[in-house]
Amino acid sequence: MQLIWISGSTDRVRKINITAKTIAKIIGIVCAVMIFLGVGIHFLGLRIAIEAKPDLARAMGGVITVAQLDSIEAGYRQRLDSLQSQLVTLTEKLNELKSLKDRFADIATPAPVKSKLQESSGGKGGPFQPIQFKLTKPGSLADELDYTLSNAQLLNDSIQKMGATWQSQYAWLNQLPIGSPIEDRLGLTSNYGPRIDPFTQTMAHHAGIDFSAPVGTAILASGNGKVSKVGRDPAYGIYVEIEHADGFSSKYAHARATFVKEGQSVVRGQKIAEVGSTGRSTSPHLHYEIARHGNTINPMQALVYTNRIASSK
């Protein structure tokens, strides 16, 4: 195709040959111009928008300045620092609680088995280590965040382990004969060791302690365990024996009546018998014995009496 037109005052005749190639060229040029124009308008528009309505423009364009990025990061870092210092404080408080618990457990543990207190945690990985929360050396925000997260996870694991350990120690202590064997623990009339036998008037070893009490006073299991014997004996009269943890057993003698059967499980404080004066007894009392691996020990060593000077810490 050929276009012919006359232009200007000189009436020059112009001719252009329109071929497929020319059309393609024109389309190409138009497209390029459009693209450049589009891109130009986009950036110019954004630039103008940033100046006119910066927040909207940034939100729409996903644009952020370096200063803003720094300020956002500083905000997150401040919050991360605060989280870390709270975790450190939490760790310190937990260690204080642990130390307080240790002092309670120490008071509640009979002297002969104090060394077993730590073992009594059900073999959960030896002595308990203090909980630690380590602060990071400053690194990138993402690294510090990851580090804090993994430390918080470790802290959580330690707390769970601590809870399990305390639970086992508590269960263990409950199985020891460290409670009172009688309601209203009054009237201790005879101590463990050598004494003049009230019947023979000669020196004899007294294998337990005696609590003088009115007939019918409740005799209580001094720790959780299993009743190993309910019997009658010329010396002990009517008696109950309980097996506890760690080789401990307790014996309650001269009862007038019993309320448990052999093989029965009992808990600390449970009424197992009533004070009487059966067997070799001159007046109503409870004769209370504790044995460990078959040998009697002074029950005062196991009873949770403490005369130590209280720690102020």
Residues that bind Zn ion (CB under 5 A): 210, 287
Minimum separation from the CB atom of position 284 to Zn ion (A): 12
Minimum separation from the CB atom of position 256 to Zn ion (A): 16
Comparison of 131 and 286: residue with beta carbon closer to Zn ion:
286
Beta bridge partners of 251: 241, 289
Minimum separation from the CB atom of position 282 to Zn ion (A): 10
List strand residue ranges (DSSP E) for 75-175, in order.
Answer: none
Q: What 3-state DSSP class applies to 144? A: helix
Give the residue closest to Zn ion by C-beta. 287
Comparison of 225 and 299: residue with beta carbon closer to Zn ion:
299
Minimum separation from the CB atom of position 207 to Zn ion (A): 8
Minimum separation from the CB atom of position 197 to Zn ion (A): 10
Comparison of 210 and 274: residue with beta carbon closer to Zn ion:
210
Minimum separation from the CB atom of position 281 to Zn ion (A): 8
Of the CA atoms within 13 Å of residue 58, those in its CB half-sphere come to 10
Give the integer Cα–Cα distance in Å for 210 and 127.
38
Comparison of 251 and 287: residue with beta carbon closer to Zn ion:
287
**Region for 270 from its dihedrals, namely left if φ exceeds 0, alpha if ψ lies in -120 to 50, beta otherwise:** beta
Comparison of 268 and 287: residue with beta carbon closer to Zn ion:
287
- For the stretch 185-218, what's the b/e string if a residue is b when 16 or more beta carbons lie within 10 angstroms of its beta carbon? eeeeeeebeeeeeeeeeeeeebbbbbbbbeeebb
Residue 72: phi, psi to the nearest 5? -65, -45
Comparison of 285 and 292: residue with beta carbon closer to Zn ion:
285
Q: Which of 245, 242, 269, 263 has the alpha carbon at shortest distance from 253?
A: 242
Comparison of 144 and 210: residue with beta carbon closer to Zn ion:
210
Name the burial class of residue 223, with classes exposed (0-12), middle (13-18) and buried (19+) by CB atoms within 10 angstroms of its CB.
buried
Minimum separation from the CB atom of position 216 to Zn ion (A): 19
Residue 190: phi, psi to the nearest 5? -145, 130
For the record, the structure tokens of 176 come out as 């020891």
Beta bridge partners of 2: 17
Name the burial class of residue 52, with classes exposed (0-12), middle (13-18) and buried (19+) by CB atoms within 10 angstroms of its CB.
exposed
Comparison of 244 and 287: residue with beta carbon closer to Zn ion:
287
Minimum separation from the CB atom of position 188 to Zn ion (A): 11
Provide the pairing of β-strand 265-266 with 295-297.
Answer: unpaired
